[in-house]
Amino acid sequence: MKKKKKTIEKKSLQCVTRSQKKREESEENDPFRMITLDLKMEILMKLPAKSVAKLNFVSNLFSSMIRSKEFTDLYMARSSTRPRLLFRVYREGLHFFHSCSQENPSYDHRERVSITLNPNLDYVFSQPVRGLICGRKDSRVLIGNPSTGQFITLPRVRTGQVWFLGYEPVNDVYKVLCVTEKRNQVSEEHQVFILGAQRQQWRMVKCNHPHIVPPYQSTGLCINGVVYYYGWIRTKRSIISFDLRSEEFNLVNLPDDVKRGDGYSDLVNYHGKVAFFMDCNGTLLWVLEDASKQEWSKVSFLISAWEGLPGLDRFLFCGALSTGELIFTPDSSRNPFYFISYDLKENITKKVVVQGIGDNLTEIEIFCDHVESPMVLSNVS
């Protein structure tokens, strides 16, 4: 019996050795190896992130290049000059991610990626942060690359919580902030998870500003290495900031004449500044001009001209493009899908139709200024 077992192990080892040898011989005969490294990088950078992700499994040569920091930085530097609109479509238990050019979304070729998640879990997705996106539901959190379709699950935390994804540019790391949430109770625990760190676990951080986090009222916003989200300090609504490098919390007061309980939108990036939209007794965009001085400015505008559009009576604010244009979508699914782009400075409104997203949509969400990333996520054990 032992002799038979040894024979099987020997044959298995021989099969593995032959397979490795064939792969090595194939790589040696690959004409791509004769091309200079700079030219290889240039070729790969012209490919969509979805195609780059597939090449990661072709050979060790491709894998080492694609996973290198040099290639990721070069790819991100180029793609950041061509931001895209990212659409999340939820239909029949499936999440589909589509992206298209922000310059010409009506005619641009769209990249589509589908992922299969538990249909019984209604994940809430946050704004993309440097190519990655965060999905959360109770104690479950996903981090994914919507351009490649790769998603990983982070370790669960025992109590109910709210999650925020951020990117810290100085040390080139992504961090996830977890804040415990209990109905009408101050958050007692604040934890941080660093993607790609050697120790893949949550770590406690201290917060000197006790606050209540309203569930699902803010998916957070990350600008220049700082995460911003809504929080309640006693009976006053405020904005909480978390510096990803120093891991310190700070408080940003809302404007004095913003009434408590008014319908604010989620936080958005407006020309690189924190802002939020209000549609209450007039349409306003509040912009945080100086976080250290707590200085706000406001822009008023009317959307009465949109009332003439057939079949529409209400719009939802989605965000702002890097150009400053504000994006609105109808409050119910439309076929074909479209959105409204409003230029504040020029006072110009455009209706933009996006073909090919699909029929009978049950849910659709649009994210602005998405940057395609070739990043390969490491599984969390």
- Has residue 10 been placed in a domain? no
pLDDT tens readout for residues 294-327:
999 998 877 655 655 555 557 788 899 998 899 9
* Three-class DSSP category at 12: helix
Residue 22 lies in a domain: no
Amino acid at site 256:
D
Parallel, antiparallel or unpaired: strands 236-243 and 283-290 = unpaired
Residue 357 lies in a domain: yes
Q: What is the CATH number of the domain that holds 237?
A: 2.120.10.80
Band the pLDDT of 108: cuts 50, 70, 90.
low
Q: Among candidates 89, 113, 85, which has minimal Cα distance to 352?
A: 85
Average pLDDT value for residue range 68-85: 92
Gap between the Cα atoms of 326 and 76, Å rounded: 24
In a domain, 52, yes or no: no
Q: Which domain holds residue 208?
A: 80-370
Q: Is residue 206 part of a domain?
A: yes
Judge whether 177 lies within some domain: yes
Taken in order 33, 34, 37, 39, the sign of the CA dihedral is: negative
CA neighbor of 213 nearest in space, from 166, 175, 257, 159: 159
User: Does residue 48 sit within a domain?
Assistant: no
Lowest mean pLDDT among 125-134, 187-196, 366-375: 187-196
> What is the mean pLDDT of the segment spanning 348-353?
85
Mean pLDDT of 4-14: 49
Q: Is the peptide bond before 214 cis (omega within 30 degrees of 0)?
A: no
How many structural domains comprise the chain? Answer: 1
DSSP string of 53-120? HHHTTT-HHHHHHHTSHHHHHHHHHHHTTS-EEEEEEEETTEEEEEEEESS-TTTSPPEEEEEE--TT
Q: Which residue has the higher pLDDT, 268 or 111?
A: 268
pLDDT tens-digit map of 245-285: 999 999 999 988 775 656 667 789 999 999 988 876 567 88
Among 33-42, 147-156, 356-365, name the most confident range.
Answer: 147-156
In a domain, residue 66? The reply is no
pTM of the shown model: 0.85
Instruction: Quote the pLDDT of residue 13.
Output: 46
